[in-house]
Amino acid sequence: MINITFPDNTIKSFEEYPNAMDVARSISEGFARNCVAAEINDDLCDLSCEIKQDSRLKFITVKDDAAVEILRHSAAHVMAEAVQNLYKDAKLTIGPVVEDGFYYDIDMESVSEDDFPKIESEMKKIIKAKKPFTRINVTKDQALELFKDNPYKIELIQGLEDQQISLYRQGEFTDLCRGPHIPHTGMIKGVKLMKVSGAYWRADQTKAQLQRLYGTAFFDKKELKKYLHIMEEAKKRDHRKLGIKLDLYSFHKEAAGMPFFHAKGMDMWNALLAYWRDVHRAAGYVETKTPVMLNRKLWEQSGHWENYRENMYTSVVDEEEYAIKPMNCPGGMLLYKTKSHSYRELPLRAGEIGLVHRHELSGALSGLFRVRAFHQDDAHIFMTPDQIEEEILGVLKLANKIYSKFGLGFHLELSTRPKKSIGTDAQWKEATDGLENALKKYGQEYFINEGDGAFYGPKIDIHIKDAIGRTWQCGTIQLDMALPMRFDLTYTGKDNEKHRPVMIHRVIYGSIERFFGILVEHFAGKFPLWLAPVQAVILPINDALAPYGEKIKQELESSGLRCEIDTRTESLKKKIREAQLNYIPLIITMGEKEKTSSTLSVRTLDGKVRMGISMEDFLKPVFKHIRLRSLEEKIL
C-alpha cells in the first residue's frame, strides 16, 4: 500500500506503485490533461516518475509559473529536433530556458530570420505528432557511445561526475538532459522563433562560434499573441534607440558596458536624483559617499573576495592589491565605525549614490539594462533587533511612494538562503523571520524564492510593472546580521553594554542606469514635465523675432525651467512637428503679436493651444505641476 499526501494534507492510497500521472488521473482525466510535472517529496520530476514509497506529492499544472519553464525547456528540444531534421550536419550543444523563452546553441551553417518559417513549420509537425517525452537512464560509457559524433556533448558528458546519465527521447530524437519535460510535444500550443545571434562555445572566444537560436513558447496561442504584441510595442520603445533620438546617452566600444550620458540625459538624471534626495531626507536618511577603490583586506573581511571575486575588477597600488567596489556596503561599515553609537541614535539611515563596477560578459551587455559600471541608490540602515519590522515596513512604504510617482506598480518576492552563504543558521532564521513578518504586516501578497538570497542575508526583491505589462526587478531589501559581526559593529544599549546592530541593505531605483532605461521605455520617451530633459522650446516665427525669443528663454531659464530655442530657417509647422516628435511638453510659438502684447502662445503635447497667456499665468501652473512632480498630462 502506497500513501500519497497532497498539499492540503489529504491522503490517497494505491495498491500498486503508481506514477505521478496515475495519481493525476485518479483525480480526474480533465485534471490530468492540465498537469505538466510533479514535485515528489520536493523533488521536481516527470509525470512518468514511479512512486515506490509513501510520499508527499504536488502537481505542477499549466497555471503554475514553473510549468512555463518546463514547457519552454521541452520546446527547446523540439526546436533542436527540427533543426537536425533540416540541417543534417548540425551539432547540438546546450539549450537552456531563459527569461521569456529559450535558446539552443548549435554548430551549424549560418541562418537568418528568413529561415525561421521553415524551422517553425518543422517544429509544428513535431508538436502535432504529440510525441511523448521519455526519460532514459544510461551509463556514462553508453552516453559517450551514443553521442560519439558530437564533440560538444562528449565534452559535457566527460565533465559530469555521475556515472548515471539521463537522456530524453521524443520519437527518434534523443538529447542529453536532466529534465523534467512535459508529457508530450502536443502540449506546446504557441511557439515562435524570435532571433538568432552568434555565440562562442562556453563563452570562450578561442572556441567554435555557434548559432544561438532564440524562441518562446506558451500553453495557449492567445498568450503567445499577447506576448508578441508586447514585444512589438517594446521595439517601438527600445531605450537604446530612443536614447539616441532624444540625445540622452550613447555607448562606445572604448568603454564597453559603461554608458556616456549627454547634457540632456544629465538633466533627467539630476531630476531623478533631486527627487530621490527630497524623499529620503523627509524619511530621515542622511547622504554619504565612500571611495570607489578599497584594498583587498577589506574585501576579504566583508566576504566579497571569497564569494564575489570573479565579478570584481582589481589592481595593484603601492604593491598592495585593491578592488574597484562592486557594492557599497563595506565602505558603509567603515563609516559606521568612525565613532561609537548609542541605542538612542538608532535606527541610523545612511544613503549613498555609489558608483560600482561588476564584470559582465560582453555578450550579456545590453544598453542601460546590463552594464559594467553603474550607480546604486544604496542605503544602509543600522538598527536594534526590535526595530527590524518597523524599518522594513518603512522601506516598503518609501518604495511604494517612489514607484507610484512614475506610475509603476510592483509585486514582492522573498528570497531565502542560497547554498553559498556566510553567517550561522540562527542568524539566517532570525533575519528571514524578520523579513517575512514585515511582509505579512505590510499586507501585500508576496512570493517565496527559495535559495535566491544574497550570500550575506535573505532579501525582499521588488519587481516593478511598466506601462506595457513587463516586470523588472529593481528594488531590494536585504537583512544582514553577518557583516556587522565581521566588522565588529557595536552600539551601547540601555544596559550600558555593547550590542551588535542589525543592518538592512536596500536600493529602490536599484541600478540608476537601468532604472533610467526602464523609464525611457515606460514613458516611450514622453516624460512627465518634471522629468523631461527639455521642458519647453521657443519657436520664433521669423529671424527678426529670434532676439526676443532669446530674452524669453533667459527669463524662463532664470525661473528654473529647462528651455531651448529653435532658430533654424525651417517652417514653423516643421519645427512644431519636430518638437512634438521629441516629446517636448511645452511648445511656445513666438510671433509679433506675442511680442507686442508680452504674452505667450503655448502648445502642449495633448495638442491643445493656449494663446495670449501672460508669463505669470504660464509659470504659476507650470511650476505647481513641477513641484508636485505630477504625472497628469494637463499642465495649463
**Portion of the chain with pLDDT greater than 70, in percent:** 100
Domains and CATH numbers, the chain: 2-61 (3.10.20.30), 66-227 (3.30.980.10), 249-292+325-522 (3.30.930.10), 536-627 (3.40.50.800)
For residue 498, pLDDT beyond 90: yes
CB 320 within 8 A of CB 296: yes
State the chain's maximal CA–CA distance in angstroms: 98
The per-residue pLDDT for 430 is: 84
DSSP track, 42-80: TEEE-TT-B--S-EEEEEEETTSHHHHHHHHHHHHHHHH
Q: What value does the mean pLDDT take over residues 600-604?
A: 95
Distance CA 573, CA 243 (A): 25
Cell 546519465 found at: 165
The per-residue pLDDT for 419 is: 83
DSSP track, 346-367: -SEEEEEEEEEE----GGG-BT
Q: Strand runs (DSSP E) across 119-159, as ranges?
A: 134-139
Residue-wise pLDDT for 286-301, tens only, equals 999 999 999 999 999 9
Residue-wise pLDDT for 310-362, tens only, equals 999 999 999 999 999 999 999 999 999 999 999 999 999 999 999 999 998 88
For residue 627, pLDDT beyond 80: yes
The per-residue pLDDT for 90 is: 96
Residue-wise pLDDT for 535-562, tens only, equals 999 999 999 999 999 999 999 999 999 9
Distance CA 295, CA 318 (A): 11
The per-residue pLDDT for 422 is: 77
The per-residue pLDDT for 65 is: 86
Q: What is the pTM of this model?
A: 0.81
Residue-wise pLDDT for 434-484, tens only, equals 899 999 999 999 999 888 888 778 999 999 999 998 899 999 999 887 889
Residue 419 CB neighbour total at 10 angstroms: 6
The per-residue pLDDT for 559 is: 94
Residue-wise pLDDT for 11-40, tens only, equals 999 999 999 999 999 999 999 999 999 999
CB 525 within 8 A of CB 245: yes
Q: Can you read off the three cell numbers belonging to residue 204?
A: 570562450
- pLDDT classification of 587: cutoffs 50, 70, 90: very high
For residue 175, pLDDT beyond 80: yes
Distance CA 216, CA 75 (A): 8
Sign of CA dihedral 566, 570, 573, 574: negative
Average pLDDT, the chain: 94
To 10 degrees, what angle do helices 263-282 and 388-405 make? 140
Q: Can you read off the three cell numbers belonging to residue 154?
A: 562528449
CB 266 within 8 A of CB 247: no
Distance CA 189, CA 634 (A): 44
The per-residue pLDDT for 162 is: 79
Question: Annotated catalytic sites, by residue?
Answer: 329, 358, 376, 378, 380, 459, 505
The per-residue pLDDT for 457 is: 84
Give the closest residue to 376 by CA, choosing from 431, 331, 428. Answer: 331
CB 61 within 8 A of CB 39: no
The per-residue pLDDT for 513 is: 97
- pLDDT classification of 284: cutoffs 50, 70, 90: very high
